[in-house]
Amino acid sequence: MPTRSELPTLPVLDAPSLRTRPPRAGARPDTGLEEYGTETTVLPSFHVWTLGCQMNMSDSEEMAGALLAAGCSEAAGIEQADLIVINTCSIREAAEHKVIGRMGVLGRLKEANPALRVVLTGCSVRADNQGVLQRRYPAVDLFLRPDEEPELTARLGLAGLTTADQLGDGRFQRVGRSVAATADRLPGTRAAAVEEGRIARSRGVKAWVPIVYGCDKTCTYCIVPFARGPERSRPYDDILAEVGQLAEAGYRELTLLGQNVNSWGHDLEPDRRFAHIAGGRELGRKQARDGRPDIAALLRGIDAIGDDEGSSGIGRVRFVTSHPWDLTDRLIAAMAECASVCEHLHLPVQSGDDEVLRRMGRQYTVEAYLDLVDRLRAAVPGISLTTDIITGFCGETEAQFESTLELLRRVRFDQVFAAAYSPRPGTPAVRLADDVPAAEKKRRLNELLAAQEAIGLELNQAWVGRRTEVLVDEIRQPRQHDHEVVAGRGPRLVGRNREHKLVHFDGPERLVGELVEVHIERAGPYALVGRRVGEPDHA
């Protein structure tokens, strides 16, 4: 296993844009006093551009918090910034193309502002691909691996609360043929950031709480295990402390995050509070827990926060992303018994064919997945299920794609996030033949989305006439594709119910951040439209 010193190190950059503040117009400098004057400096204003999953969004909140704590300010937009942090995603090709497409613009911004620095981080940055990245992203000054994100301010030469010395060395581990950074310090730097209030949460009502970093799974199309390293769980008490803070601050919903959130805790030390937890996993390799906590225990701990401390607790708890391997009966029981856990689960299936699943390295069969669905629906009546699907994976035949459509019709997911397969450099699947033509992948994708649209519409229509509790997120102008559900009154407020359905309704701005009872009047494939309970019908 190579040590950090054996690997190429990134340059420490000059402090970006440490400019002397210009004198105010009209002020007459007293040259006699000049030598006694203090020099005021302007720290860089920053803009964080985030692509990809909720984990990236949470990481961006932490980096923004560190920059604010170092004295920087948030720029009004990317064009006004002295420091641009791009937190990108390489799971899908589209995100990378988006960033590559902005290199020209970033180059022009740097010409106009020579002090501008551009940092790129996220799953695209690995221990072994710096040369490729420099060619692909010429406007970028500094590449940070996900495990190096706590070093952001130190690498930029900014006086932050965290210095490179305090961070210590990261560690590296071989994952397959690659070297992944393990960064065991991530749980610790998160705990310090929480304690010192250094997380710039983007919203005051909903919060993300990362609980496990990295992934131990073997999905052949995925870069995460190579980019983020093996799983490292945050300690139980640290997570509960962060959730307690959020409850006191009035947050109403939190989402526990992990690339494979259900496996949280298996790498922690045994703890006698969890002596009753012996086994784990219904699918895949059986994992002995031997008194280590699992996510079921964590959900129960979070659910009890309000009771123990006399505060209101968090009313809504979600967790994402779940791999079917680690969806145990203990977890399903916790979902059923904890009042705060929402009646929704995102459970990626990826394909409806066993042979394709095997090539994807998913380690479950369609039958096992369907069994989980049945158990979830029996334990949590009315649970909504969403999933991810890849069309046109290596070697996928028409018959195998048909099996995926059949799975869709059988499960009747509330929503499907689908993408056509694109080989990602550095993943094991690049050694498989990418033999489904691009046009065919797209055709399958469109067929699948059309089938799902009909299912989504039917499921949403079953909500018409019901009342549901909506946590209002924002005011939003109607979008073009919402036309069939928003025609007429033009709803302004948008939020989600516990089942994660998007709900539009009219109401005053002050309701943003509130829980509101809504009577559903209409439904489209992607959203529900209703009226606030108690509001007169003005149609």
Using CB under 6 A, list all residues that contact ligand SF4: 215, 217, 219, 222, 224-225, 259-260, 323
Gyration radius from the chain CA atoms: 25
Structure tokens at 39: 């020099």
In whole angstroms, the minimum distance from the beta carbon of 315 to ligand SF4 comes to 28
Q: Report the SS3 class of residue 41.
A: strand
Whether residue 162 contacts residue 153, with contact meaning beta carbons closer than 8 Å, is answered with yes
In whole angstroms, the minimum distance from the beta carbon of 414 to ligand SF4 comes to 20
Whether residue 59 contacts residue 146, with contact meaning beta carbons closer than 8 Å, is answered with yes
- What stretch of H or E contains 404? helix 398-411
Is 17 or 321 the residue whose CB approaches ligand SF4 more closely?
321
Q: Which residue has the tokens 């962060």?
A: 242
Is 223 or 411 the residue whose CB approaches ligand SF4 more closely?
223
Is 102 or 126 the residue whose CB approaches ligand SF4 more closely?
126
Spatial CB neighbours of 337, under 8 Å, sequence gap ≥ 6: 300
Whether residue 529 contacts residue 487, with contact meaning beta carbons closer than 8 Å, is answered with no
Is 263 or 384 the residue whose CB approaches ligand SF4 more closely?
263
Is 224 or 512 the residue whose CB approaches ligand SF4 more closely?
224
Structure tokens at 480: 């073009």
In whole angstroms, the minimum distance from the beta carbon of 104 to ligand SF4 comes to 31
Q: Where are the alpha helices (DSSP H) in 198-257?
A: 224-228, 236-248
In whole angstroms, the minimum distance from the beta carbon of 227 to ligand SF4 comes to 9
Q: Report the SS3 class of residue 187.
A: helix
User: Rounded distance, CA 256 to CA 199, Å?
Assistant: 16
In whole angstroms, the minimum distance from the beta carbon of 161 to ligand SF4 comes to 30
Is 149 or 499 the residue whose CB approaches ligand SF4 more closely?
149
In whole angstroms, the minimum distance from the beta carbon of 260 to ligand SF4 comes to 5
In whole angstroms, the minimum distance from the beta carbon of 54 to ligand SF4 comes to 12
From residue 401, how far is each of 352, 433, 442 by CA, in Å?
7, 17, 12
Whether residue 193 contacts residue 223, with contact meaning beta carbons closer than 8 Å, is answered with no
For 329, which DSSP code?
H
User: Rounded distance, CA 531 to CA 465, Å?
Assistant: 11
In whole angstroms, the minimum distance from the beta carbon of 224 to ligand SF4 comes to 4
- What stretch of H or E contains 97? helix 93-101
Spatial CB neighbours of 76, under 8 Å, sequence gap ≥ 6: none
In whole angstroms, the minimum distance from the beta carbon of 120 to ligand SF4 comes to 20
User: Rounded distance, CA 186 to CA 54, Å?
Assistant: 17
Q: What are phi and psi of 253, to 5 degrees?
A: -145, 140
- What stretch of H or E contains 122? strand 117-122
Is 323 or 504 the residue whose CB approaches ligand SF4 more closely?
323
Is 222 or 314 the residue whose CB approaches ligand SF4 more closely?
222
Is 222 or 445 the residue whose CB approaches ligand SF4 more closely?
222
Q: What are phi and psi of 387, to 5 degrees?
A: -150, 170
Is 130 or 218 the residue whose CB approaches ligand SF4 more closely?
218
Spatial CB neighbours of 245, under 8 Å, sequence gap ≥ 6: 194
In whole angstroms, the minimum distance from the beta carbon of 220 to ligand SF4 comes to 9
